[in-house]
Structure 1
Amino acid sequence: MVPKLVYDFAEGNKDMKDLLGGKGANLAEMTNLGLPVPPGFIISAEACKVFLTTGAMPAELADEIDHHVAALEQKMGKKLGQADDPLLVSVRSGAKFSMPGMMETVLNVGLNDDSVNGLAHQSGNPRFAWDAYRRLIQMFGKTVLDMPGDVFEDAIEAAKDAKNTTNDLDLDADDLRKLVDMFKTAVRDHTGRDFPQDPREQMDLAIAAVFGSWNSERAVLYRRQERIPADLGTAVNICSMVFGNLGMDSGTGVAFTRDPSSGQPGVYGDYLQNAQGEDVVAGIRNTVPLADLEQIDKKSYDDLMAIMAKLEGHYRDLCDIEFTVERGKLWMLQTRVGKRTAGAAFRIATSLVDEGMISIDEALQRVTGAQLAQLMFPRFDADAEKHLLTKAIGASPGAACGKVVFTSAAAVEAAKRGEKVVLVRRETNPDDLHGMIAAQGILTSRGGKTSHAAVVARGMGKTCVCGAEELRVDISAKTIQVNGTSVSEGDVISIDGTTGEVFLGEVPVVPSPVVQYFEGTLDPASGDDLVASVHRLISHADGVRRLEVRTNADTGDDSARARRFGAQGIGLCRTEHMFLGERREAIERLILAEEDAERHAALAELEPLQREDFCEILKAMDGQPVTIRLIDPPLHEFLPSMEELAVKVALAEERGEDPGRDATLLAAVRRLHEQNPMLGLRGVRLGLVIPGLFAMQVRAIASAAARLKKQGLDPRPEIMIPLVGAVQELELARDEVAKVLREVSEAEGVDVHSPIGTMIELPRAALTAGQIAESAEFFSFGTNDLTQTTWGFSRDDVEGAFFSCYLEKGIFAVSPFESIDTDGVGALVKIGAERGRETRPDLKLGVCGEHGGDPDSIHFFHQVGLDYVSCSPFRVPVARLEAGRAAL
């Protein structure tokens, strides 16, 4: 039996998002709750998948649509596009996950040259009817016929100029009738066909356009940004029209059951009289606060407040609601669990616990590590001198500074040059997504907290200020005029997405209160409700998580900070970082050594330097494990570049001078040069080829541990052999390490036993993990190099070369260096973990690549049974939170 493709609103519910999309599932839920929802039906996402795969609608879809259109006509008592009293419908997208503004919508489907007159007669408002018709042609032209929007917008601006007005409402019925004629002519000129008069043809073409918009450039970009799977497809919602533009007793709005910026309870949203929903979301006309609806239409306001309370109680979360008032009658057009800022997410989650709506476990699932990371960004210094330009609506919190740009293209180009920019627009639209992603923040002169700019910025965690009405934004002149001050493209401004303030120049920033809390300088009982919420949820995460969280740190300061942030040890201490800066010459002498005596002297010079470093790190992590990786990179990385040395030597010889040490270094670089150093003489191979190198490092570690033990401390070093591909390599290196540990223990009279393990960063190591575990007491998966060796590319060479192309073509949903490739690299981690533990059941397993701080990767590592993740100090709180969420 062929599964049905079309569902009446009454046949669905909120748990059917996979099939009906978020919008359709929630319309169905509201219908079944008895709320005033205009009747309609939903074409499922399964039909979209067929369309995207075959390029054609499923064969059975037309008959199912016929059936539901007939049922809708019977329910409404009028037919689609009926000449004397037309049934009109909207055709709207609705994917499983909210993608605001990224896909297509067409309103007023069913209007044509005949039915527009019937609508004018039935409504008693010719202006309304002709406005509805021009909206249909405009939206249909842009969405279905792929016409440039400027064609329509320029005609509207010209009509307003002719009447010497800037307000759409000043255009009367005759003006709008003329616009309709102009729009129809434009359709014919641009497409070679007339605007379709058959209502069913309008509907079918609109449905196809909505399906096709799933793969539009902006939708693909948004899905990539939000990590939404590309194979879900979108449902299509066919809903009978209700009209907010019938006069001043009608209107449209967006409401939130709590403030999506702060999380505070109250009446939040925007309302616009005599308007349709697109006018609010586009920010074309400035709205009034939702609270003003109480004075405008008390009954509709009271009905809305009751429905909002009912929806929040039903969904047990912040609800985002779209509604229309048609001549004093309230209609619900959409609800969804609303997007919110990071701060609002934490506040709302804990508030709902306090109100008894959800458990603390569920509250932890309502927040993410990515949101916590946003809360750790700096904010503007309240005590710094600032030049205030204006104050508007803080739509998405944060502190953003950058050069002013007026187009998305300019934002993208500036970002490529490494410049920070603030994108300034009158209002944004879905085509601005590239620029919004590239910019540090967004500033608009129109719109409110529910405009496109605000909703998308909140979803991305991007700072945004909207509705700065005092700004006179001149896109063509590339200037802003505000209160007598002129700001040009390239000038620096600062925007505060919390307060809505806009400043001229760069404003200094200070640490966020959340970072101060993690640093231990701000008590969670200080009265800061955000800090209190973060403290409650991360404390709960610590209580339920199985994964330990360590840090990657190479200095005492970084180690101490990570410990304050909650790190339970160090998962990766890179010893090669200790050879940089002033110490480079010492490692150069080791590399240049030709005799044993020279090599021993260089090692003797390096050993005390390393010992002092290890003392600082082990002291900072007293009582916690510290995994120290012996030197890993190829030796040429410690020498100047071949090109730089060759130029210096050539210039010296040209001047008749002795190039001296430069010539010696150049010869060494040429001797050590490798075609692919990532796969050359590095890691364990260095330790086996250069006598005494590993022994010097182990002696420094053991001596540091012995000194601290004598001071009554509890150092816990773990020695890690890098880049092992065969157990024989590890056995040879392990023997040398164990010998040095014994020697130091005997000489110091202190037991400095250290577990000895290895870094699994080669596919062969993962596949032969059972053998390697015979000589390893722990594994640490080096997923950065494991990704490189599994995929067969060097990160430094390829990220800028072709990754953007791979992302655009869908080969990568996200960079495999950013989030672990679970199918390939992840499978090797799983194999290595399982085979290692088959040999040694008590084998300690961790990960120390950058994936250790990535939320999605942390959930994977929890699933495959690792014991800990390790990440940079700043990401330790994020990993703690996500490890808790993974456990739930």
Structure 2
Amino acid sequence: MRKWTYNFGLGRSEGSASDSALLGAKGANLAELGSLGLPVPPGMTIIADACTWFHEHECHFPDTLLDQVAKGLNQIEESTGKRFGAAHNPLFLSVRPGTRVPVPGMTGTVLNIGLNDQTVQALAKETGDVDFAWSTYRRFIATFADLAMGLDHAVFEELLEEKSGKSAIANNPGLSVEQWRQVIEAGKAIVLDEMGETFPQDPQEQLWAVIAAAFKSWTAPRAEAYRKLHSIPVDWGTAVNIQAMVFGNRNGNSMTGNAITRNPKTGASGVTGTFLPRAQGYELSTGDRAPHQISERGRKEAERTEMSLEAMLPEAYETLEEMTQKLERHYRDVVELEFTVDDGYFWILESRLARCDIRARMRSAVDMVHEGLINREEALTRIDPLELEQLLHPAIDPSVEREVIGTGLPASPGAAAGEIVFNAEDAVHAAKEGRRVILVRSETSPEDVYGMHAAEGVLTSRGGLTSHAAVVARGMGIPCVAGAGAVRIDAEAGTMTSMGVTLKKGDHITIDGSVGQIIRGQTQMVQPELAGDFAKLMEWSDAVRRMGVRTNADTSTEARVARKFGAEGIGLCRTEHMFFEENRINVVREMILAEDEDGRRQSLEKLLPMQRSDFIELFEIMHGLPVTIRLLDPPLHEFLPKVDSDVAEMAERMGLGEEELRRRIEAMHEFNPMLGHRGCRLAISYPEIAEMQARAIFEAAVEAAKSTGAPVVPEIMVPLVSLRRELDYVKARIEQVADDVAKETGVFLNYLVGTMIELPRAAFRGQEIAQAAEFFSFGTNDLTQTVFGISRDDAGGFLTTYRQKGIIEKDPFVSLDYEGVGEIIKLASERGRAGRHDLKLGICGEHAGDPASIHFCEATGLDYISCSPYRVPVARLAAAQATIYEGATPKAAVY
């Protein structure tokens, strides 16, 4: 016979904390509490599979469930000495659903099941408090009508007020039994009038109606929408917990409260929390009464005058301290619990791991290591790596009220305020004048980079979490809200409109890139502070992890930030971003628009010292650490002027007519530039560009070695290779330049030449390509595009729909697609190392900052990950966690 119910409480339990899939999270925790011998009101859990059975059989219960619940009730009655539905000394029950993960939209807890016209009199006699008994009955009718019958609670209360008067609704003391009977009769009449059903007097009918309502709420529209959004399978179902009632509102020695074993804001040890005298649990959340602090210390810190639990009922406070210490030692973590004191007797209603701020979570983890409760590896697994980002960026002061005028995707964390500007030129001009600005664009492109550098933050109406704006903003460490589709931007008119609000250039806005909000006006900020616990966790992470952690950095500012956060080198320097600076872009355009190789070489001679100085600065900052530099990658047309004023300026500079210049620009147009004339194809068509960049790299390495005494080993990355002959051709040019620089300087450098794997063919031919490449760096942004055939800049509009409809679980540009892109990375890694056993493997796409993707990189055996500077701490911790979970050997000394 199938076992549908599991009993718990009073020192015996049929389940444990590990049974959440069977018993739901609440039921599993109640079972654990019961097995520990803690004072838990006895009860039983109906397993989640019963919910699935219920829905598969037209909302009927299995016969064996009815029998098992009856037996479970008998055990509760024996434990409490009370009888369910009895006229004397009756047992009352609470029923609440319990899912394995939180699902908003489920029905709430129903208390006091078993109350009826007869048992209410027994409760009044038992307590000697007529108001307590009858007001509890009135509240039960309202709750039952709402959760089990579908009569909105607010509607019930309004109608009851009309029928019986305000004083009764407010539960003022002093009503006679007859007056209470009138209130109850009015309530039952409302149920009959509104629902066409009588309020059930039979306790068994009440119990099974509430169980059915709990099961039905699993497939209710609100819960169903949440489940689909978060990919929670419908066959998980919900468990149902049935417990003996205890009354926190029985008398002056009764109360209900929430307690946490350590401060959830700071992590300081010592029980903290709040309680309400003479109250049931739901009253804590209504806010109708100001809660009291549990401890005297908490009362003083909160500057409250109400008595603390410690002062009011010292014995209950001592019991609470004892219980919290026992739970923390058992779970070896910060624990939150709900408790009730019923006429002086202490009961634990529920416990769970506490939800704490990231600072509190860090402090408690470090402290527990020092206290001997956990080891360092366990401490590291207690922290969500992505939460570390909250510590690294300015944030909006939580006390400030926000006037939100729009939302988009939280593309780069942190918050910033400034004047609205609509183009890069205005951003740079404002920054020179000392004004803070937010760059507002429909979408950004490489030519906006220098404006993004000058801005405090970026807002775009198009693009996703891996759009150009998102990727570059994360690298720079500035906040970005992307894909705010409801925002209408008219750059020509200098206006943006959202939610009926129109703002113009120069008006102030604030953006919160952590939550994706656009806020009108300037908002006060709080600056980040990195505490000692943060540094300690980073130190422990570095001692544990196997993979190296590098950064994607194109500028000295980004490189310095990354070094401050612990980067062990640069895994991707995108040289094209260096070309857009104001004093360089016109030289680059001259080179691109030159009619022959001689003209291009003349312009490249001007660019050489600029590139060399960039690389010298990066090499000096990295001080001997590896630096991977990608040769020019984007199609050349991205550098060309687009607006009329820039075309006119360029034409005059080159001594050409505007029409002739436009003809040359038009000749470079491509229909699909992402798969067009870019990457290594540029280096093959125009080898002089690659030669100039290689010379700048080698000459910079020689100079930096002299100034630092720590020679860098440059790693030159050839992008977009799909054929070994492409790599052979470009590599030969690089090697020739290396030989030339060595002869000229007398310094023979160590360097590596490798490629970015971003095309499926390169992965399939990994063994062959590795014979020419000394490293593979997986460019997962473009690899995901080419594997899926999806543009990351245009995918936001439909990938959200795909997720909502269950076609995909995650955005593949945010978290790596293991089954497709991941398989190609594995294949390329295996074949690459078959072709060169010492092939170095890394990843430099945005996935390198995603903890789930980092776990994949560890399992695949990559040597390093390279992410944006402000993701370096995230990657360090996630890499350590991956090493722990994969059971890998801690990191080697060199990557």
Equivalent runs, 1:17-416 vs 2, <5 Å:
17-49=20-52, 56=59, 59=62, 61-82=65-86, 85-97=89-101, 104-152=108-156, 154=158, 162-163=166-167, 184=188, 187=191, 191-214=195-218, 232-291=236-295, 292-378=308-394, 399=398, 401=400, 403-404=402-403
- For 1:777, which of 774, 777, 783 is the aligned residue? 774
- Alpha-carbon offset, residue 251 of structure 1: 1.4
Match status 1:707 vs 2:706: no
TM-score (norm 1): 0.77
Q: Distance in 2 between matches of 1:138 and 1:709?
A: 79
* Alpha-carbon contact 1:320-1:336 (below 8 Å) kept: yes
Secondary structure at 2:841's aligned position in 1? strand
Amino acid in structure 2 at the alignment position of 1:725: S
Amino acid in structure 1 at the alignment position of 2:605: A
Gap runs ≥5 in structure 2: 296-307, 418-506, 513-519, 649-654, 885-895
Aligned match of 2:717: 720
- Alpha-carbon offset, residue 595 of structure 1: 2.5
Q: 1:127 to 1:47 in 2, by over 3 A?
A: same
Aligned match of 1:575: 575
* Alpha-carbon contact 1:402-1:420 (below 8 Å) kept: no
Q: Distance in 2 between matches of 1:171 and 1:411?
A: 52
Match status 1:730 vs 2:733: no
- Alpha-carbon offset, residue 684 of structure 1: 1.9
More deviation, 187-196/249-258: 187-196
Aligned match of 2:603: 602
Q: Distance in 1 between matches of 2:792 and 2:510?
A: 35
- For 1:759, which of 756, 760, 766 is the aligned residue? 756
Q: Distance in 2 between matches of 1:420 and 1:379?
A: 5
Q: Distance in 2 between matches of 1:140 and 1:413?
A: 40
CA offset digits 1:37-67 (Å, max 9, x no partner): 1111112233345557777567454443343
More deviation, 556-565/44-53: 44-53
* Alpha-carbon contact 1:549-1:876 (below 8 Å) kept: yes
Q: Distance in 2 between matches of 1:80 and 1:50?
A: 27
Aligned match of 2:550: 550
Aligned match of 1:637: 638
Q: Distance in 2 between matches of 1:164 and 1:141?
A: 18
CA offset digits 1:123-142 (Å, max 9, x no partner): 43333333333433443444
Aligned match of 1:452: none
Q: Distance in 2 between matches of 1:183 and 1:881?
A: 57
Q: Distance in 2 between matches of 1:665 and 1:61?
A: 83
More deviation, 583-592/623-632: 583-592
Q: Distance in 1 between matches of 2:690 and 2:57?
A: 61
Q: 1:707 to 1:306 in 2, by over 3 A?
A: closer
Q: 1:323 to 1:586 in 2, by over 3 A?
A: same
Q: 1:61 to 1:295 in 2, by over 3 A?
A: same
Q: Distance in 2 between matches of 1:536 and 1:50?
A: 50
* Alpha-carbon contact 2:229-2:804 (below 8 Å) kept: no
Equivalent runs, 1:484-495 vs 2, <5 Å:
none
Aligned match of 2:846: 850
Secondary structure at 1:210's aligned position in 2? helix
CA offset digits 1:222-266 (Å, max 9, x no partner): 789999888754432111111112233221111111111111122
Q: Distance in 1 between matches of 2:164 and 2:685?
A: 81
CA offset digits 1:192-212 (Å, max 9, x no partner): 544455444443443344345
Q: Distance in 2 between matches of 1:352 and 1:36?
A: 26
- Alpha-carbon offset, residue 214 of structure 1: 4.8
Q: Distance in 2 between matches of 1:295 and 1:8?
A: 36
Aligned match of 2:862: 866
Secondary structure at 2:73's aligned position in 1? helix
Aligned match of 1:524: none
- Alpha-carbon offset, residue 606 of structure 1: 2.4
- Alpha-carbon offset, residue 623 of structure 1: 0.6
Q: Distance in 1 between matches of 2:521 and 2:547?
A: 44
Aligned match of 1:806: 802
CA offset digits 1:625-660 (Å, max 9, x no partner): 10111122222322345xx55x9999xxxxxxxx97
* Alpha-carbon contact 1:684-1:722 (below 8 Å) kept: yes
Secondary structure at 2:253's aligned position in 1? coil
Q: 1:689 to 1:87 in 2, by over 3 A?
A: farther
CA offset digits 1:653-679 (Å, max 9, x no partner): xxxxxx976545544454333343322
Q: Distance in 2 between matches of 1:493 and 1:782?
A: 33
TM-score (norm 2): 0.77
Amino acid in structure 1 at the alignment position of 2:611: Q
Aligned match of 2:454: none
Secondary structure at 2:22's aligned position in 1? helix
* Alpha-carbon contact 2:106-2:214 (below 8 Å) kept: no
Q: 1:852 to 1:227 in 2, by over 3 A?
A: farther
Q: Distance in 2 between matches of 1:347 and 1:66?
A: 47
* Alpha-carbon contact 1:401-1:506 (below 8 Å) kept: no
Equivalent runs, 1:464-483 vs 2, <5 Å:
none
Q: 1:649 to 1:365 in 2, by over 3 A?
A: closer
Amino acid in structure 2 at the alignment position of 1:877: P
Amino acid in structure 1 at the alignment position of 2:755: T
Q: Distance in 2 between matches of 1:218 and 1:295?
A: 43
Match status 1:13 vs 2:16: yes
Gap runs ≥5 in structure 1: 381-397, 423-489, 496-503, 515-530, 651-658
Q: Distance in 1 between matches of 2:808 and 2:174?
A: 49
- Alpha-carbon offset, residue 299 of structure 1: 2.6
More deviation, 547-556/363-372: 363-372
RMSD, aligned α-carbons: 3.9
CA offset digits 1:334-360 (Å, max 9, x no partner): 111211111111111121122222222
Aligned match of 2:451: none
- Alpha-carbon offset, residue 855 of structure 1: 2.0
* Alpha-carbon contact 1:649-1:663 (below 8 Å) kept: no
Secondary structure at 1:780's aligned position in 2? strand
- Alpha-carbon offset, residue 844 of structure 1: 0.8
Q: 1:239 to 1:756 in 2, by over 3 A?
A: same
Match status 1:692 vs 2:711: no
Amino acid in structure 2 at the alignment position of 1:823: E
Q: Distance in 2 between matches of 1:679 and 1:150?
A: 60
* Alpha-carbon contact 2:814-2:847 (below 8 Å) kept: yes
Amino acid in structure 2 at the alignment position of 1:758: T
Q: Distance in 2 between matches of 1:237 and 1:765?
A: 56
Q: 1:243 to 1:557 in 2, by over 3 A?
A: same
* Alpha-carbon contact 2:394-2:416 (below 8 Å) kept: no
Q: 1:492 to 1:685 in 2, by over 3 A?
A: closer
Q: 1:52 to 1:716 in 2, by over 3 A?
A: farther
- Alpha-carbon offset, residue 190 of structure 1: 5.5
CA offset digits 1:492-533 (Å, max 9, x no partner): 9999xxxxxxxx99675464331xxxxxxxxxxxxxxxx232
Q: 1:162 to 1:209 in 2, by over 3 A?
A: closer
- Count residues in correspondence: 761
Q: Distance in 2 between matches of 1:236 and 1:164?
A: 33
Amino acid in structure 2 at the alignment position of 1:884: A
Equivalent runs, 1:619-638 vs 2, <5 Å:
619-638=620-639
* Alpha-carbon contact 2:105-2:217 (below 8 Å) kept: no
- Alpha-carbon offset, residue 789 of structure 1: 2.1
Q: 1:825 to 1:147 in 2, by over 3 A?
A: farther
Q: Distance in 1 between matches of 2:182 and 2:577?
A: 72
